Amino acid sequence: MCGEQRCGHAAESSRSSPGENVDQSCKWPSLSALTISIHERKLSLYTTFTLLLRTISLSSPSIVGKYTMIELDSIDYRILAAVSRNGRISMLDLAELVGLSPTPCGRRIRRLEEAGIILGYAAQISPQALGANISVLVSIRLLRHGTEGNEQFLNAIAKRPEITECLMVTGSVDYILRIWVRDIDALGTFVRDVLQSIPAVAETTTMVILKQDKNSQILRL
């Protein structure tokens, strides 16, 4: 399902080297400020991806905060894989699983938490059990960019429970949303009455997810 079409924009890159320094310990800028920075300052492709590959979570805004780059070894990755599969695993069982005693295992967990690599622990809820039977991805192209357009869009969707993910992306669209709805009728109503009614939105494109074959938060095991 598509709405009206307007001209999009392309991400720009400069001649800065891939080694361009990015301060990893400072507070990340607001989304609107980040958009202006990318378009007006012409950041290098490396810096742009460093900034944009941060997932923007509507339900957990504290995720975009301080983090510290630390060296990870194979034991750290085994710990991350284990807690991502079972966040309620006991320290004793986790230590045995990764080949450590409980005390050093606990120190590694605290180190990963303090570095911002482990952001938290949460239960996985079945959307279908709550009546949300259809999952879709909706790409959004904004009519205008800069602070006003981005803030208008983000403020309009911030409290919509149907939207579980909001990603700012490069390319011909500005955002990709993940949305859960009850059925096709509810989807049509949401796209028409909610998304396409936002003045800053120029175009929406909806892709129904037929099957999800992989769902993992671990980048390397």
Pairing relationship of beta strands 134-142 and 163-168 according to DSSP bridges: unpaired
* CATH code, domain carrying 37: 3.30.70.920
Per-residue CA distances from 186 to 7, 18, 130, 131, 135 (Å): 29, 45, 15, 12, 11
Does 135 lie in the same domain as 43? Answer: yes
Q: Are residues 145 and 186 in the same domain?
A: yes
pLDDT values of the chain reduced to their tens digit, one per residue, 221 residues: 444 344 344 333 333 444 444 444 444 444 444 444 444 444 444 444 444 444 444 444 444 456 678 899 999 999 999 998 899 999 999 999 999 999 999 999 999 999 999 999 988 888 889 999 999 999 999 998 888 899 999 999 999 999 999 999 999 999 999 999 999 999 999 999 999 999 999 999 999 999 988 877 666 55
* Order of all β-strands in the sheet with 201-208: 163-168, 175-181, 134-142, 201-208
Q: Is position 14 within any domain?
A: no
Instruction: Determine the pLDDT at residue 68.
Output: 76
CA distances from 100 to 74, 90, 117, 181 (A): 12, 13, 20, 44
| Confidence at residue 69, expressed as pLDDT on a 0 to 100 scale | 84
Domain shared by 56 and 139, yes or no: yes
For residue 17, being part of any structural domain is answered with: no
Number of domains present in the structure of the chain: 2
| Structural domain span for residue 108 | 74-114
Structure tokens at 130: 């709550």
Residue 12, domain member (yes or no): no
DSSP 16: -
Q: Are residues 91 and 180 in the same domain?
A: no
Instruction: Look up the CATH number of the domain holding residue 103.
Output: 1.10.10.10
Whether residue 81 sits in one domain with residue 58: no
Entry pTM:
0.63
